[in-house]
Every structure is written in C-alpha cells, then in structure tokens.
C-alpha cells in the first residue's frame, strides 16, 4: 500500500490511526510516511531548511473521514461549543468538559485497555488543527485560541490522557502540507510554553522519540519537527533536566543529535543509530 497506493494511506490516515493499537508504532509510521506520488519530498536534513517557505504547506491534505461528525458524537452542541471557543475562547469551561468527556465507562475502558476515548481525542485534535490552520501559523500561533485549547486540555488530563493527546497531534506530522506545518508549530509551542504542566516537554519528547527509534520509514514531518526542536536554541532542549537524567539517556540523545546533523542522510535513516544507542 505504501509503495503502490500511497494516496489511499494519505486520505484514510485518520481512520487507520484510530484502528492501529497505540503500541504499534512502526505500523503507524508506515501509514503516516505515505505521500502523494506526484510530490518530491524536500530533504529534512537540509541545513537551515525553511519549512514555512515551502509551497506545499499552503495546501491542506485530503482527509477522507467525517471528522466533524466524530467530534459531535451525536451532540451538535459539543461541536458548537468547540467552534465558539476557537472563535472567542468561550465557554471557558469547555476544556474541563472535554477532559471529562474523554473518559470511557469502566466496562468499555476494560475492553479497550485504556481509560480514554482515543478516537474521539484524535478527531478533536485534528478538527482543532483544521480550524487553526485558517488562522495562520505565524508567531501568533502560540497565543491562538486553538493552541490555548490544546494547552488547557493537556493541563486537565492525567499523564496517560496527555500522552494520547500528544500522539493525536503527532499523527498529523506527515508529508509537507498545511496540517503538518500547523501541528509541528503547535507541538513546538507547547514544548516552549507548557502552561504550568512541568512534564509536558518531556512527554512531547517521548512521543516524538519513540516514533524515531523504530525501523524506517519515518514521517517527514516527524523528522523536521524533532530536528527543529533539538537544533533551535529557542527551545532550550539541551537544558532540559530529562536529557541528562541517566547516562544511557544522555547517550541516546547524543546519538539523535549526530544522526540529525548528518549531511545527506536519507529520509527515515535516523532509526538505526537510535536503536544502537538504545541497545547500549
């Protein structure tokens, strides 16, 4: 499918990610690495790559699932409240209400092996991004209602729920398009301004890193986002305490830096050095 019918994976990525278990990282990477056959991917390892200057990021990808209907979940008032918040940050109680709505009933949670409604969370995050793209991805994105909503939801969730929320955002880091660029900016913004959630930068790093330490392919947007995170001093990545919490973790991150700095590396070629560091 990836080689012969990549457009199928591109269009149905949201539904496929809902069906893929959270622990199947490599399978999810396969889906998210698909890109249209007519597109030539820019090398993510190009020094000083200006993602915001790429013409492809002006175009939204096809999403062949009814995201709005999933967000509604049979209640049109919920979507109306989300739309209202994304316009005017009201109702102020919406983030708390959404956090509560993501919890599954006990019997369903036992069957799904998670307390959280992951498909609903995936749909909401994608919908918020689709609306947020229309507001732009410039310097103002960090203070936009969409990013504030994601930040407040992250603050209201428990660590497991926050992990699923960040995974939902990382699922949009695909080939060059407006959604990839938006969610790359969103994750970097949440890393820089975690809104009082001290563990948020570490969790963002975990979500990105665990997608890199498996075998290739690796989604283009994932590579671009992680390279920007570790190389741009604005984010202070190397000043984070978790990068030095143990010798093996330090070696892992050093291996990441060497891999990402490698000139002429192929897309998806980061995994092997990371696996070697993990094995040590």
pLDDT in tens, 149-197: 999 999 999 999 999 999 999 999 999 999 999 999 999 999 999 988 9
pLDDT reading at 13 higher than 90: yes
Region 36-58 average pLDDT: 87
pTM value > 0.75: yes
**Residue 139, number of CB atoms within 10 A of its CB:** 9
* Long-range CB contacts for residues 239-247, cutoff 8 Å, separation at least 24: 240/201, 240/202, 240/205, 242/201, 242/202, 242/205
Q: What is the pLDDT of residue 258?
A: 76
Q: Strand pairing partners for 103?
A: 116
**At how many degrees (to 10) do helices 220-231 and 247-261 cross?**
110
pLDDT reading at 278 higher than 60: no
Per the document, the length of the chain is 280
Spell out the residues 6+ positions from residue 41 whose beta carbon is closer than 8 angstroms to its own.
Answer: 35, 175, 176, 220, 267
Region 77-103 average pLDDT: 91
Work out the burial of residue 277: count CB atoms within 10 Å of its CB; fewer than 13 is exposed, 13-18 middle, 19 or more buried: buried
Task: Please provide the average confidence, as pLDDT, over all residues in the chain.
Answer: 86
């Amino acid at each position: 499918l990836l080689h012969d019918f990549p457009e199928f994976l591109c269009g149905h990525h949201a539904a496929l990610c809902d069906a893929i278990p959270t622990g199947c990282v490599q399978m999810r990477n396969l889906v998210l690495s698909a890109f249209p056959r007519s597109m030539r991917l820019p090398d993510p390892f190009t020094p000083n790559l200006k993602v915001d200057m790429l013409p492809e990021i002006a175009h939204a990808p096809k999403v062949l699932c009814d995201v709005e209907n999933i967000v509604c979940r049979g209640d049109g008032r919920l979507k109306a409240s989300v739309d209202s918040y994304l316009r005017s940050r009201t109702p102020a109680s919406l983030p708390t209400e959404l956090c509560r709505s993501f919890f599954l009933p006990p019997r369903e949670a036992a069957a799904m092996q998670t307390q959280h409604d992951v498909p609903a969370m995936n749909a909401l995050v994608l919908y918020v991004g689709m609306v947020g793209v229309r507001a732009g991805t410039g310097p103002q994105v960090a203070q936009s209602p969409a990013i504030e909503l994601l930040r407040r939801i992250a603050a209201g969730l428990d660590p497991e729920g926050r992990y699923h929320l960040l995974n939902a955002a990382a699922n949009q880091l695909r080939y060059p398009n407006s959604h990839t660029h938006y969610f790359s900016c969103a994750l970097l913004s949440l890393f820089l301004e975690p809104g009082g959630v001290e563990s948020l930068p570490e969790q963002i790093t975990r979500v990105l890193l665990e997608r890199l330490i498996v075998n290739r392919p690796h989604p283009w947007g994932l590579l671009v986002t992680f390279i920007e995170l570790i190389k741009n001093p604005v984010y202070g990545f190397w000043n984070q305490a978790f990068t030095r919490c143990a010798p093996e973790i330090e070696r892992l991150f050093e291996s990441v830096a060497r891999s990402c700095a490698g000139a002429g590396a192929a897309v998806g070629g980061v995994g092997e050095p990371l696996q070697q560091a993990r094995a040590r």
